[in-house]
Amino acid sequence: MSQKTRINSALSACIARAQGHGRKDVPTKLAQTLSYATTPGGARIRPTILVSVALACGDDQPHLTDAAATALELMHCASLVHDDLPCFDDADTRRGKPSVHKAFSEPLAVLAGDSLIMLAFDELARAAHAAPDRGLALIRTLSDRSGMPGGICAGQGWESEAVIDLHAYHCSKTAGLFVAATQMGAIAAGNDPEPWAELGLRIGEAFQVADDLRDALFDEGALGKPVGQDDRHGRPNAVSELGARGAMSRLNDILGGAIASIPSCPGEAKLAHLVRAQADAIVPRTVATAFK
Amino acid sequence: MSQKTRINSALSACIARAQGHGRKDVPTKLAQTLSYATTPGGARIRPTILVSVALACGDDQPHLTDAAATALELMHCASLVHDDLPCFDDADTRRGKPSVHKAFSEPLAVLAGDSLIMLAFDELARAAHAAPDRGLALIRTLSDRSGMPGGICAGQGWESEAVIDLHAYHCSKTAGLFVAATQMGAIAAGNDPEPWAELGLRIGEAFQVADDLRDALFDEGALGKPVGQDDRHGRPNAVSELGARGAMSRLNDILGGAIASIPSCPGEAKLAHLVRAQADAIVPRTVATAFK
């Protein structure tokens, strides 16, 4: 079974449970939003990193790893549903289909996000019976990287401040769930999460630079015409700072650092290979080729 | 220390932690929403019930009981913040002051609710180290009664359906966090939660009838002129069904049943007294006197 199949299968079992497995005494539309908001899955990058770290550490409690991957993806999907709301990004589409509030309604989008957050913790608590201490550590790590004062909610909260602390903003909003991914993978397999934080932070940083590259090079449909396009919040951007070639080079440095930070573990080499493969996936091949 | 002081003190310690204890790298406004949304406390009825049940069961892990009471109140406050949003009740005020989205902004209100939900689970996971199995059971009970398919989110979700299953609606939306209160009190003190569900359900039912009475008798400023005022969603209402006197009598029957349902435990008599006292608190004295 591929990692993606493993992740999607655990996730869809969890969603079916939250939908009441076809029970009649469940509000149908809200139940529908839960699968709508979590499919199609895109690359499932965060849970893939989580499972890869768990495998590198031995994955001796695969059921707990599955629950951790599911919980992390639920939290990510919840954040997308709420970020798309009219009061934030007011996004009409997401992953090539109408956003949840467009397809259903704004009340149902708020409730869908809330329900997915609750379901994430529920999934971890249910899977934890065989290893309660790991389960509790997983719950704490997920809440740390999601809520206040330093998780993705805090990151989003910075956008309401007159002056943004850019370091705190990136650590929380951009890197938060990547750090959760590496640390939760380690915890699920019974390892100390601390040494795994740096890998998550660096992957988060790499994603930020890759996003900047995509913004600058693709959104204007002008590959090869890398005008330094400041993002709409007026925040610094790797491409406007360094140019496209400089940003590609920065990205490669970050990835090198990410791979160097991988703690010693049985599956270290395989994990390094995977980080490199994920990096290739996030930077469109055409860009990578143009700026090699 | 009174129960209310105990609850408020645990809650404010938890909020201070989520605000980063004065750290500079925290988004200030979102941090402020967390205390704004949780104070002043009103009666703190749900956590009071929780602590009372725990005390009746021996309260041998008071730190865990405090965390459970805090988590439950956080979840309740989160639901109020989101329910007040323009897309739901569009409420300008709450507990005598501007609602969170009015005082801050709609994005900050969405994030405040999200953060409080995450904090509830975080608080439980942190307190659980001394009794991991109880901690995990608390987390599962809170998520069951909050999320899908049968918690307060599901209850709110019913309001987006063309046809409402009234039994499911009341069990989830009205009684959900009362059942969580009695069951979490039992779990925190190491008792089986199952026998405690009925007490929570009946207290929830009593609150519904008391709400109907207040709606009919007070919102029109016409005590003693109990016009059967259908609620604005056109749902059945105890006063319009039974008249005010009939609804008072129904309320007393429910409370009798609630007290009769209290499982045998060391503090049974004291708990019965407390349920009666809470009931007196929820029905304004003038109403109770008028319809005795």
| pLDDT score for A22 | 82
Q: What is the pLDDT of residues A12-23, one digit of tens each?
A: 999 999 999 989
Decide which of A192, A211, A227 is a domain's last residue: A192
| pLDDT score for A289 | 67
* A205 and A272, same domain (yes or no): yes
* B162 and B72, same domain (yes or no): yes
| pLDDT score for A226 | 39
Give mean pLDDT, residues A270-280.
85
Range of the domain at A186: 1-192
Query: A153 vs B114: CB contact, 8 Å cut-off?
Result: yes
* B32 and B148, same domain (yes or no): yes
ipTM of the shown complex? 0.93
Q: How far is A140 from chain B (nearest CA, A)?
A: 6
* B236 and B106, same domain (yes or no): no
Decide which of A171, A192, A213 is a domain's last residue: A192
Consecutive H or E run containing A73: helix A62-83
Q: Across chain A, what does the average pLDDT equal?
A: 90
* A250 and A122, same domain (yes or no): no
To the nearest whole percent, how much of chain B has pLDDT over 70? 90
Q: What is the pLDDT of residues A212-231, one digit of tens each?
A: 888 777 754 443 333 444 45
- Concatenating the DSSP letter of every residue in chain B gives --HHHHHHHHHHHHHHHHTGGG-SSS-HHHHHHHHHHH-S-TT-HHHHHHHHHHHHTT-S-HHHHHHHHHHHHHHHHHHHHHHTSTTTT--SEETTEE-HHHHS-HHHHHHHHHHHHHHHHHHHHHHGGG-HHHHHHHHHHHHHHHSTTTSHHHHHHHTTSSS--HHHHIIIIITHHHHHHHHHHHHHTT--SGGGHHHHHHHHHHHHHHHHHHHHHTTTT-TT-------TT----HHHHHHHHHHHHHHHHHHHHHHHTPPS-TTHHHHHHHHHHHHHHHS-HHHHHHT-
* Six-digit token string for B100: 């969170």
Q: How far is A37 from chain B (nearest CA, A)?
A: 14
Contact yes or no for A134/A58 (Cβ under 8 A) = no
Cβ contacts of A158 on chain B, cutoff 8 Å: 27
- Comparing alpha-carbon positions, the chain B residue that sits nearest to A88 is B107
Minimal Cβ distance to B153: which of A87, A114, A133: A114
Inform me whether the pLDDT recorded for A5 exceeds 80.
yes
| pLDDT score for B276 | 85
For helices B28-38 and B106-127, give the axis angle rounded to 10 degrees: 70
Inform me whether the pLDDT recorded for B204 exceeds 70.
yes
Give mean pLDDT, residues A239-251.
88
To the nearest whole percent, how much of chain B has pLDDT over 90? 73
Give the number of domains in chain B.
Answer: 2
Inform me whether the pLDDT recorded for A68 exceeds 80.
yes
CA of residue A61 relative to chain centroid, distance: 22
Contact yes or no for A52/A59 (Cβ under 8 A) = no
* A174 and A33, same domain (yes or no): yes
Decide which of A166, A192, A218 is a domain's last residue: A192
* B198 and B243, same domain (yes or no): yes
- In angstroms, the CA B197 to CA B7 distance is 22
CATH number of the domain bearing residue A134:
1.10.600.10
Give mean pLDDT, residues B172-194.
97
With bands split at pLDDT 50, 70 and 90, how would you rate the model's confidence at A276? confident
Q: How far is A133 from chain B (nearest CA, A)?
A: 7
Minimal Cβ distance to A27: which of B126, B128, B157: B157
Query: A27 vs B160: CB contact, 8 Å cut-off?
Result: yes
* A179 and A286, same domain (yes or no): no
Query: What dihedral do alpha carbons B160, B166, B172, B174 form, nearest 10°?
Result: 100
| pLDDT score for B43 | 86
Cβ contacts of B144 on chain A, cutoff 8 Å: 122
- Comparing alpha-carbon positions, the chain B residue that sits nearest to A33 is B157
| pLDDT score for B221 | 47
* B70 and B124, same domain (yes or no): yes
Query: A114 vs B113: CB contact, 8 Å cut-off?
Result: yes
Q: How far is A195 from chain B (nearest CA, A)?
A: 21
**What does pTM read for this prediction?**
0.93
Inform me whether the pLDDT recorded for B81 exceeds 80.
yes
- In angstroms, the CA B15 to CA B11 distance is 6
**Count of pairs with CB atoms under 8 A, one residue in A, one in B:** 201
- Comparing alpha-carbon positions, the chain A residue that sits nearest to B146 is A118
Inform me whether the pLDDT recorded for A121 exceeds 60.
yes
A147 contacts chain B (CB < 8 A): yes
Answer whether the bond into residue B193 is a cis peptide, omega within 30°: no
B236 contacts chain A (CB < 8 A): no
Q: What is the pLDDT of residues B167-176, one digit of tens each?
A: 899 899 989 9
| pLDDT score for B122 | 98
Q: How far is A38 from chain B (nearest CA, A)?
A: 15
* B111 and B56, same domain (yes or no): yes
* A96 and A182, same domain (yes or no): yes
* B236 and B267, same domain (yes or no): yes
Dihedral sign computed on CA atoms, order B265, B267, B269, B273 = negative
Give mean pLDDT, residues B201-228.
70
